[in-house]
């Protein structure tokens, strides 16, 4: 049978073009597409060492992958295809795509959510022992202590989770609260109920990030202020000054935004501005940051409200969830010291002894609850 010439040659020509053109463009030095940053160093050169030829293939593979001419547009296409065609995250090991544009962290968070990381009775007892020790210290020092457990975004926006995420009937934070309730009824502050109540009228977590937002920070700061007023009736604790909310309809930042790799993803975000802030950033004590901590500049923040004479000195041992409350709580207390101790949530006795707070508040995401153990690495 005579074969049409078009049929005979067309696929071969297109195939050869596809496999030859990228290398030709690289060799001829045509300026390619701008490469997006990745969480690693690119392999942009090859060192040929005759004594170590064994390493050459690996080096060349890495070089070819990183310098493939169409790397950027193809990665872009990959991300968009996964996101829009399959309606899933391009990197489900890092983040998952929920409903209505909501993105959620995966991995440990999903295990916590579906009950795989529930605490055993032994672990619960270890928490009790840990707090027994800490409480003794705080009692001796006449310092009150609270522990704000920031709920996973998944728990607040459970209705936005994709169909393949199972939410366990057991909630390890609830179980822990119950376990510590008898001995330390006042210790844990769980803002879940507050956030759930507020979420219909206000967005309390970012869609494109795993953190709660300024609105949540505002609500939780008020919750803390109310709590501390009850605990310290003789102290002056100020109201948060009037806040204006600036709306950004094209907010496109956050962990999930970076993971998805799609620049145009955006959300509506409200940022707080306090009109007449009273508290000023003060000179740091200069406590030494944790070795290897990724954000050493954020290790210590100190604010003083000079107008307040009978106020509280509050030490916050916090993680990134403490950031959203910072602008508000600093206005309420006489002195606020925020320590980001690289998710270790240690007692931090030297800091306590130097700062001499009236109250210590631990604030961190429920994912990292285990970090409270002394020997947790």
Partner 1 sequence: MLFNSIVFLFSFLPLLLAVYYLTPKKYRNYTILLFSFIFYAWGGVSYTLILIGSILVNYLFVKQIEKNNAYKKSWLIIGLIVNILIIVLFKYLDFLIENINIVGASFKTDYTAIPFKHIVLPLGISFFTFQQMSLIWDVYRNENTEKTTLSNIALYISLFPQLIAGPIVRYNDIVGQIKHRVSTFLLFRSGIQRFVLGLFKKVIIANTCGELADTIFSSSFNSLDSPTAWLGIIAYSLQIYFDFSGYSDMAIGLGRMFGFRILENFNFPYISKSIQEFWRRWHISLSTWFRDYVYIPLGGNRNGAYRTYFNLIIVFLLTGMWHGATWSFVIWGLFHGFFLIMERIGFKAVLDRLPKAIQWFYTILVVMIGWVLFRVEAFSEALEYIIKLFSFEKSKNISFLTYLDNERILVLLLALLSSSLFFVKIKTFLDNRKLTQTIVFQSLLDIGVVVLLLICIVYINSGSYSPFIYFRF
**Where do contacts with partner 1 occur on this chain (CB under 8 A)?**
1, 3-4, 6-12, 14-16, 18-20, 22-23, 53-54, 57, 60-61, 64-65, 68, 70-71, 74-75, 77-78, 81-82, 86-88, 90, 92, 110, 114-116, 162-166, 168-169
Least separation in angstroms between residue 360's CB and partner 1 is 35
Nearest approach, Cβ of residue 11 and partner 1 (Å): 4
| Angle at CA of residue 289, ends 283 and 295, nearest 5° | 95
Positive or negative: CA dihedral 314, 356, 371, 89: positive
> Which residues, 6 or more positions from 305, have their beta carbon under 8 angstroms from its beta carbon?
238, 278, 279, 280, 311, 330, 331, 333, 334, 335
DSSP code at position 91: -
For 189, phi then psi, to 5°, come to -110, 115
**Minimum CB distance to partner 1 smaller for 92 or for 277:** 92
CB of 53 to partner 1, least distance (A): 6
59 versus 289: smaller Cβ distance to partner 1 = 59
The answer to whether 195 and 151 have CB atoms below 8 angstroms apart is yes
Least gap, CB of 12 to partner 1 (angstroms): 5
| Cβ nearer to partner 1, comparing 4 with 120 | 4
Least Cβ distance, residue 166 to partner 1 (angstroms): 5
Q: Compute CA distances 170 → 112, 167, 178, 292, whole Å.
A: 10, 8, 12, 35
Which is closer to partner 1, CB of 74 or CB of 197? 74
CB of 7 to partner 1, least distance (A): 5
Give residues with Cβ within 8 angstroms of 374, minimum separation 6. 130, 346
DSSP letters of 32-77? -PPPPP-SS---------GGGGGGHHHHHHHHHHHT-TTHHHHHHH
Q: CB of 3: closest distance to partner 1 in angstroms? A: 6
**Phi, psi values for residue 9, rounded to 5°:** -110, -25
- Gap between the Cα atoms of 100 and 158, Å rounded: 12
Nearer to partner 1, 77 or 285 (CB): 77
The least CB distance from residue 122 to partner 1, in Å, is: 18
What CA dihedral angle connects 27, 33, 34 and 39, to 10 degrees? -80
- Residue among 263 and 281 whose Cβ is closer to partner 1: 263
User: In the complex with partner 1, which residue's Cβ is closer, 78 or 285?
Assistant: 78
Question: Cβ closer to partner 1: 22 or 322?
Answer: 22
Give whichever of 36 and 181 is closer to partner 1, judged by the CB atom: 36
Residue 109 vs 331, nearer CB to partner 1: 109
The answer to whether 243 and 272 are in contact (CB under 8 A) is: yes
Closest distance of CB 68 from partner 1, Å: 5
- What is the smallest separation between the CB atom of 196 and partner 1, expressed in angstroms? 22
Closest CA to 175 of 135, 114, 119, 116: 119
The length of the chain in residues reads: 377
CA-wise closest residue to 124 among 377, 374, 376, 369: 369
């Amino acid at each position: 049978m005579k074969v049409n010439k078009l049929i005979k040659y067309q696929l071969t020509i297109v195939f050869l073009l596809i496999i030859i053109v990228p290398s030709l463009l690289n060799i001829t030095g045509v300026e390619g597409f701008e490469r997006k940053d990745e969480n690693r160093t690119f392999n942009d050169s090859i060192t040929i060492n005759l004594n170590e030829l064994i390493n050459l293939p690996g080096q060349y593979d890495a070089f070819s992958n990183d310098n493939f001419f169409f790397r950027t547009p193809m990665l872009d296409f990959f991300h968009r295809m996964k996101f829009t065609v399959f309606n899933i995250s391009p990197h489900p090991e890092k983040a998952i795509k929920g409903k209505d544009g909501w993105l959620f962290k995966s991995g440990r968070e999903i295990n916590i959510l579906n009950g795989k990381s529930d605490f055993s009775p032994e672990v619960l007892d270890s928490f009790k022992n840990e707090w027994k020790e800490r409480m003794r210290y705080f009692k001796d020092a006449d310092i009150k202590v609270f522990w704000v457990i920031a709920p996973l975004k998944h728990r607040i926006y459970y209705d936005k989770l994709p169909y393949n995420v199972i939410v366990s009937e057991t909630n390890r934070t609830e179980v822990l609260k119950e376990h510590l309730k008898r001995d330390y009824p006042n210790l844990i502050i769980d803002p879940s109920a507050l956030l759930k109540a507020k979420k219909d009228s206000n967005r309390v977590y970012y869609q494109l990030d795993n953190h709660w937002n300024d609105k949540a920070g505002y609500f939780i700061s008020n919750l803390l202020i109310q709590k501390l007023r009850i605990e310290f009736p003789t102290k002056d604790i100020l109201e948060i000054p009037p806040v204006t909310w600036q709306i950004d309809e094209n907010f496109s930042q956050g962990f999930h935004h970076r993971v998805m790799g799609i620049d145009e993803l955006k959300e509506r975000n409200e940022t707080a501005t306090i009109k007449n802030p009273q508290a000023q950033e003060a000179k740091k004590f200069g406590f030494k940051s944790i070795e290897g901590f990724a954000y050493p500049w954020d290790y210590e923040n100190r604010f003083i409200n000079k107008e307040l004479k009978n106020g509280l000195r509050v030490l916050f041992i916090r993680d990134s969830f403490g950031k959203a409350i910072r602008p508000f709580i600093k206005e309420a207390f006489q002195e606020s010291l925020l320590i980001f101790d690289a998710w270790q949530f240690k007692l931090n006795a030297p800091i306590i002894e130097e700062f001499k707070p009236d109250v210590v508040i631990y604030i961190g995401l429920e994912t990292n609850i285990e970090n409270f153990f002394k020997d947790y690495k």
